[in-house]
Structure 1
């Protein structure tokens, strides 16, 4: 018999393994479903546009539009996750996305899926995606004990890597059955997510007294001030930003470099798959790694090893073997990523978590959005070795930040309001 977690003592919940934590398991499963659906439709959107118009530019524009929406709305979404009831917000986003993809599936079936409609639905889904994410991340610290938050984020990392691996293949299969099928499948995953989140018993945020009297802009500013006033979070951004840029740029550089050296599309796909498998295995192992290595030593080992592996990949540029060091490097990334966000969630006041997570994610990943363009320019103008060397330099900056800045060693316990 599964215990009712609303009646358990906090000490019982704190000692509960994640696999027995009913509410966290429901949240995890809900996002396993929805992330798989999203990975399916990511492939289906450009395929649908190509079948209607035949323009590769339009097909690529969908992804670019969604990326811009996520960047622009990241901070407001974090503020809304702190202002509004997180459960209601998440349920509303799931319901809205289910309706959007049912509509797109129906229009595709009947032959009425025009290009403006496809872009409108894609943009609306991206808005709901970015509105959902901060609430889900902030809710984790309410459902698991502080000493298990990093483990929970590690499980989330494994979930995301698995979805990114399985989704495109499943999307291609479903699209071959019928153009509407991937979108109807995505709608089904949001319905499943809605049902699972609806059945979470415990609150997803701490009770608040009264109503918010401040404006949305001042709430966003409060989150920014908190991050800038935290030695730990500032150091996280200085360390994570170059690494995120390097990892994204390196993966694009591999594709471009191997393509220029005559490798066939199947081999290019195998190269990316090998790198992704490294990340998946690392995500599966992340919780075990964190249990045996404390935070700061883990950070130093990860960044130092990644620096050496990036350098090895640069030396092997143009050969298929350049993939292997990157796969090993991505094996280490999920553990430190989970540790960073685990510590952030465990130490940030709950009423600020949506905003703080959004600020950190935006600042730490902003440079990575320019990585594909940068990789393309380096490969085209200076060659593949130069492109990979730029990744080595980026990781060297992260290593310098990890060694030089004291904030990563003291954690997020020291906070100074500017």
Structure 2
């Protein structure tokens, strides 16, 4: 696992970095809007139609962009001005979510409309996330990348803690309220990000002359040639699929128990608290443990915890389980993001980031769609048992893959690669 470069203790804290504060704060508002509306989509379809498969379809539409938009988005983010991309994405999402608020104010609930808006918001979120992650290296020193990533992950988990229960409470007032609130948050994010200035990214050799397909292929090749990195992404993709299904299953379970929609938000909030603490743990881990050990420890721990969801179905116990699993998940996310940002050349941040997100998050769309049909066929308890079995298999795979001969050598090679990119950034931009 690559560590941050030396001298971090001599640098001013990130809280004194004005550009990072603007990026962090504007993105916090954007993430709050996105998470609140996504939760409201699920509640809206479940409580107004009662159809588990329809809820799975909307969840699939929201996450499908992770599968189909990542690779072209990665190329375009490397070509376009990253600040401008973020501004356009925030404005577009505000318009899309605002259309749902207007529709619901007229007491109209159309599943096709909700699914279409979920897809649009998810697509623009893909572009935004890739741009924001790539922009981090332009606003913080290389030695503070892990700290910045930990703070970004902590921001997302803290937003979940507030956004999920707030969305449930607002939905209880009226179905259109969380969507109107999300629209306002997007507009506030837009105003904040207009003040942000990001240095232009480095250009790769011959980039302007290369076609979209060739640039996508270059990002795929870059990841595929690193067996250790590739294996970690595939294992994480499997665990993300399981957790996406777990979220939908819990929402269905709460409805079957006759509890209010706000209960779902509270369970998710418990997970967000665990994730918030895990984000800071991840920053610590990324500086002290190699990535291969983080992968093994995390998946074994998840495999031990997951069977509890089959038998402990009270909201309080589910909240505790979500707290623990999210704590581990956030730590893995921070470690993985820091690892990827450090080992990737600046000119390829968008493309490599898109491949990473395709693998680790694209599977979530399949998880949402598949879980809807599993719930119809096997019920909540059966679906949770299947998820637990898949997680146990992933733990075995992670243990075998990351203890094999050569894994340590590949991990060390990644550290050396990251050190080279840090020296490149410290040297400053190339001469004109």
Q: TM-score, normalised by structure 2?
A: 0.78
- Compute the displacement of 1:73 (Å): 0.9
Shift of the 14–219 alpha-carbon distance from structure 1 to 2, 3 Å rule, reads farther
Contact 1:151 1:338 in 2 (8 A): no
2:40, 2:178 within 8 Å by CA — same for their partners in 1? yes
Specify every segment of 5 or more residues in structure 2 that has no aligned partner in the other structure, as ranges: 1-6, 419-432
Give 1:118-267 correspondences, 5 Å limit: 118-203=114-199, 205-206=201-202, 212-248=208-244, 265=259
Residue number in structure 2 paired with 1:396: 396
Determine if contact 1:149/1:343 at 8 Å carries over to the other structure.
Answer: no
Partner SS state of residue 212, structure 1? helix
Tell me what 1:86 maps to: 82
1:122-156 CA-to-partner distances (Å, cap 9, x unmatched) read 33322222222211111111111222112211112
CA change 1:385–1:87 in 2 (3 A) is closer
| Count of aligned pairs between the two proteins | 400
Give the secondary structure class of the aligned counterpart of 2:197: coil
**Structure 1 residue 169 displacement after superposition:** 2.0
Q: Do the aligned partners of residues 13 and 114 (structure 1) sit closer, same or farther apart at CA in structure 2, a change above 3 Å counting?
A: farther
Q: Which of the residues 408, 411, 414 maps onto 2:411?
A: 408
Contact 1:236 1:408 survives alignment (8 Å): no
User: Within 2, Cα distance between the matches of 1:313 and 1:69?
Assistant: 28
Q: What is the CA distance between 1:239 and its match in structure 2?
A: 4.2
Is the contact between residue 74 and residue 350 of structure 2 (CA under 8 Å) also seen in structure 1?
yes
**Contact 2:63–2:119, Cα closer than 8 Å, also in 1:** no
- Closer, same or farther: CA 19–414 of 1 in aligned 2, 3 Å: closer
Structure 2 Cα separation of the partners of residues 210 and 312 of structure 1: 49
Q: Name the CA distance, whole Å, in 2 between partners of 1:179 and 1:123.
A: 19
> Alpha carbons of 1:401 and 1:368: their partners in 2 closer, same or farther (altered >3 Å)?
farther
Write the mapping of 1:44-83 to structure 2, written as runs, cut at 5 A.
44-48=40-44, 57-83=53-79
Match of 1:7 in 2: none
Question: Which deviates more from structure 2 when the two are superposed, residues 40-49 or residues 400-409?
Answer: 40-49
Kept in 1: contact 2:61–2:365 (CA 8 A): no
For residue 343 of structure 2, what is the aligned residue in structure 1? 347
- Between the aligned partners of 2:283 and 2:173, the Cα distance in structure 1 is 38
The 2-side partners of 1:71 and 1:219 are apart by 18
Could you say what the CA RMSD is over the residues aligned between the two structures, in angstroms?
3.8
Give the alignment partner of residue 300 of structure 2, picking from 295, 307, 310: 307
Q: Contact 2:73 / 2:126 at 8 angstroms: preserved in 1?
A: yes
Distance 1:89 1:109, change over 3 A: same
Match of 2:353 in 1: 357
Between the aligned partners of 1:289 and 1:282, the Cα distance in structure 2 is: 10
Shift, 1:75, TM fit: 0.9
Q: Secondary structure at the match of 1:411?
A: helix
> Cα distance 1:315–1:202, how it changes in 2: closer, same or farther (>3 A)?
closer
CA distance in 1, matches of 2:127, 2:155: 20
TM-superposed CA distance for 1:83, in Å, is 1.3
Tell me how far 1:20 sits from its aligned partner: 1.3
Structure 1 residue corresponding to 2:311, chosen from 318, 323, 333: 318
**Preserved contact between residue 62 and residue 122 of structure 1 (Cα < 8 Å):** yes
Is 184-193 or 352-361 further displaced after alignment? 184-193
- Counterpart position of 1:3: none
Residue by residue over 1:367-394, the C-alpha shift from the partner in whole angstroms, topping out at 9 and shown as x without a partner, is: 4544464675787797865642331221
